[in-house]
Amino acid sequence: MVNGFLSYGKGVSYENRWTLNVETLMNYPIIVPDYEEQCKLSFYLDDKCTKIDTIIEKQQKIIEKLKAYKFSLITETVTKGLNPDVKMKDSGVEWIGKIPEHWKVTKFKYFSLEIGDGIHTTPKYDSAGKIYFVNGNNIGLDNLIFKDNTNKINEKEYKNYKLPLLTTDTILIALNGATYGKTSFYYNEKILLGKSAGYITLKTTENKRFVRYYLQSNVAKLIMKISLLGSTIANLSLNTLKNFSMPYPSKSEQQEIADYLDKKCSAIDSAIEKKQAIIEKLKEYKKSLIYEVVTGKKKL
């Protein structure tokens, strides 16, 4: 039925959605069996769809538990390390709590070359341009996401702006909106940053994977949340990023922790993907079942 509605859609609204007028909807043809048959089909679909929805809900709960476990694991590891028997000390930062005795606490500004955001103006777009104009919504799970509607600029426009220091040791971070705090690595893409996209360019001696894992931890999220108290709009400031406190183990331990989390998180993400695939198949099965029953293709 949805595909049928799309064929009757007229125009595109300001939200880029197809619209149906009342007349079209009132005159849309449907198959109408007798009342007794309608009741029989409805009861059957109620039963089947309820069972499918229950399975989907259970799978979704498992996904949420896996996500919670992932962030709990990241938090525990980047603040406590891998040795459960290590002696602990007070970090001196309330929301970080205790850390291994031989670790220290430092701030992003001390191990970064540059921390900043993008331009605070709108560039002149060029659909034929080769340079993407990136904002917070382009920041994906690991890489930048370029959609069909991502704006572009040309080389001439690009040269009008003072460019930030972006290297392979740069972590990009969404600064505002619902996805604030989300991070991606920078892989030398040709981009111009907008004001909702921040960047943390680390010194070449730093472990960018460890730093990014810390930014994904519940501790980092709490620090961000505290910095936003009293704000009407979620907006991470550059001052917050520069003074962001982080537990700091030795370089070799950072490497061990990053390697450990790469392996563990990859396994968790794989499990989540499998559960999500099950959910999508169940949704497709539900749609197919409804279609076959209401069109008489499936006999009860």
pLDDT digits (tens, 9 = 90+) for 42-83: 999 999 999 999 999 999 999 999 999 999 999 999 999 999
Q: In sequence order, what are the beta bridge partners of 88?
A: 100
pLDDT at position 235: 87
Spatial CA neighbour of 220 closest among 74, 8, 116: 74
Rg (CA), the chain: 25
- Share above pLDDT 70 across residues of the chain, in percent, rounded to a whole number: 88
Q: Are 159 and 199 in contact (CB under 8 A)?
A: no
Out of 14-18, 43-47, 117-121, 201-205, least confident range? 14-18
User: Measured between alpha carbons, how far is 187 from 298 in angstroms, rounded to an integer?
Assistant: 52
Q: Which residues, including other chains, have CB under 8 Å from residue 117's CB and lie 6 or more apart?
A: 175, 193, 195, 196, 197, 198, 199, 238
Would you call 274 helix, strand, or coil by DSSP? helix
Spatial CA neighbour of 70 closest among 266, 222, 278, 247: 266
User: Measured between alpha carbons, how far is 171 from 185 in angstroms, rounded to an integer?
Assistant: 5
Superfamily designation of domain 84-252: DNA methylase specificity domains (3.90.220.20)
What sign has the CA pseudo-torsion 26, 31, 36, 42? negative
pLDDT digits (tens, 9 = 90+) for 85-117: 999 999 999 999 999 999 999 999 999 999 999
Where exactly are the structural domains of the chain? Answer: 1-30, 84-252
pLDDT at 33 over 90: no
Full-model pTM? 0.84
Q: CA dihedral defined by 206, 259, 242, 230, rounded to 10 degrees?
A: 180
Rounded mean pLDDT, 242-259: 97
β-pairing verdict for 191-193 and 131-134: parallel
